[in-house]
A and B are shown apart, each in its own frame.
Chain A
């Protein structure tokens, strides 16, 4: 089993910042269109982080023109250029699926207070 861990570690990225459910993140995605490559940004709230090695993923939800959009990103995918943590949210659970049922002002997440 040690060799499997070693192979997985070689495919994992060390530059992914730590974030958890409730945080707002900007995911910079590399989009390849034919020959050209450009960066697309997907900003939203993290619904959940699925922990693991190479198979860890996270789900980001945003509301685009009144329509809720969710995307699941593999944490260590080479398609992700970088992940930027915009703000940390104050939530009580690690899977904030209840956000799907809320809209407008109710769907806001309180930001975490950091005491100096």
Chain B
């Protein structure tokens, strides 16, 4: 759960631009906000201090009934996503207040979180960068296999956390330090340097670095 106030957005895509010194800079364009505050949670009532922010307006019929009742309290319309940000000074904000990309400025360092692209069930070479086995010299059907996974009588089992094949990707990834290249409040666009997790149109959260 985010510990600082964040803004929800959608990854639009990547491109490359020229920075001020003339060098080429890869950037990701994010359509972020406006995110209205739906609910303020306080220590007295809920036991912890947090803000609930929403993103991506949808027609009322797209929201299920319990959610509809909850979102109607803020009176800002209906939204596809609601996410909680645990912050200590939640009392300083008001329900219905809108967060926009204004909260960031060019040159800021931000955190960007998202769900990475799912890779399915993958072997050890892709998942853990193992080297695999030999291509020739008698190697048969084992070219991408992990090889030995442990010892013999001791310990008589496979160690916990042994790197094995399995499901890869589709997990929460947070980039701790991403530079803001451009902010366009009139279009609700923020441009950051480099790549961010997830596919295009994926939901991401941009947070100030504390």
The chain A residues found within 8 Å of chain B, CB to CB, are 1, 3-4, 7-8, 11, 53-55, 74, 76-79
Contact = CB atoms under 8 A, between A and B. Distances in A.
Size range of the chain B interface in the assembly: 10 to 19
A57 B142 CA distance: 43
Contact of A3 (B17, B22, B189): B189
Contact of A4 (B13, B18, B22, B182): B13
Given A3-B187, A7-B29, A74-B24, 10 more contacts: A1-B13, A3-B31, A4-B29, A7-B15, A8-B15, A11-B17, A53-B15, A54-B18, A55-B16, A77-B22
26 contacts: A3-B12, A3-B29, A3-B31, A3-B187, A3-B189, A4-B15, A4-B29, A7-B15, A7-B17, A7-B27, A7-B191, A8-B15, A8-B17, A11-B17, A11-B18, A53-B15, A54-B15, A54-B16, A54-B17, A54-B18, A55-B15, A55-B16, A74-B24, A77-B18, A77-B22, A79-B22
Nearest to B27: A7
A76 B15 contact: no
Interface of B: 12-13, 15-18, 22, 24, 27, 29, 31, 182, 187, 189, 191
Contacts of A53: 15
Contacts of B31: 3
In this complex, the member of B12, B17, B187, B189 whose beta carbon has the largest number of chain A beta carbons within 10 angstroms is B17
A4 B200 CA distance: 12
Contacts of B17: 7-8, 11, 54
Contacts of A79: 22
Nearest to A76: B18
Given A3-B29, A3-B31, A3-B187, A78 B18 contact: yes
A104 B164 CA distance: 59
B24 to A, nearest CB: 6
A11 B182 CA distance: 13
A76 B12 CA distance: 23
B18 A1 contact: no
Contacts of B27: 7
Contacts of B191: 7
